[in-house]
Amino acid sequence: MLKLLSRISSRERIMLAALVLVGSMIWLSSLWRNWESVSVRYRKVKLELDQQSVWLDNADRFENELEDSLDQLDPDKTYNDAELIALIDSLAREHKVSHDLGTPTTIEGELFLQHTLKVSVKNVPLPRLIDFERSLATRYPYASLEDFSISANKADPRLLNARLTISAYQLTTEEDYSNALFD
């Protein structure tokens, strides 16, 4: 190797050294990027494992709290999607609120189904809207107001237009699961 280096000119030796240096820098920068991505993934995994460890350490407490919460809920008072529509329609009619009901969406959970309904209210005075909201609040935790936006009617600012998102939870039982499997 030394014979080979002694036979080439000093300019070629400098160019060869520069080539080796640039190649080494490219290799080291690639190695550094890989190290950064591995360390970022390592930190994320470590954080997630720490969080899961806390969950596992407190699993009995979480299970007891879940049982206590479920014991406080009456499955017969929960609403399915059709019952949610009927509830909102009857409350709106009771408080003389003109409304349009959207189509309910359902999200399936392990212990419950969450039904969400969007409602549009048009040209309603503030006292009626407040009464409607208060009567809905009496149905908590079985039905609740998730989102509420209000705006004044441009033609008559005494009247209000509102958009509501209402959610209801329906507790599921093992019987519900078996019926869903065979339907």
pLDDT tens digits, one per residue of 125-145: 999 999 999 999 998 888 889
Half-sphere exposure for 14 (CA within 13 Å, toward CB): 3
| 65 domain-assigned | no
Residues above pLDDT 90, as percent of the chain: 55
3 confidence band (pLDDT: 50, 70, 90): confident
| 156 domain-assigned | yes
Whether residues 26 and 86 share a domain: the answer is: no
173 confidence band (pLDDT: 50, 70, 90): low
The per-residue pLDDT for 175 is 55
Residues in the chain: 183
- Residues 99 and 149: their CA atoms lie apart, in Å, by 14
Give the domain extent around 150. 75-181
Query: Does residue 177 carry a pLDDT above 60?
Result: no
- Give 72 or 151, the one with higher predicted confidence: 151
pLDDT tens, residue by residue, 65-124: 878 877 777 777 788 889 999 999 999 999 999 899 999 999 988 778 889 999 999 999
Query: Does residue 171 carry a pLDDT above 90?
Result: no
Q: Reduce the secondary structure of the chain to three states and give it as a string.
A: CHHHHHHCCHHHHHHHHHHHHHHHHHHHHHHHHHHHHHHHHHHHHHHHHHHHHHHHHCHHHHHHHHHHHHHHCCHHHCCCHHHHHHHHHHHHHHCCCCEEECCCEEEECCCEEEEEEEEEEEEEEHHHHHHHHHHHHCCCCCEEEEEEEEEECCCCCCEEEEEEEEEEEEECCHHHHHHHHHC
Whether residues 38 and 119 share a domain: the answer is: no
Whether residues 87 and 177 share a domain: the answer is: yes
Structural domain count of the chain = 2
| 83 domain-assigned | yes
Sign of CA dihedral 91, 96, 97, 102: positive
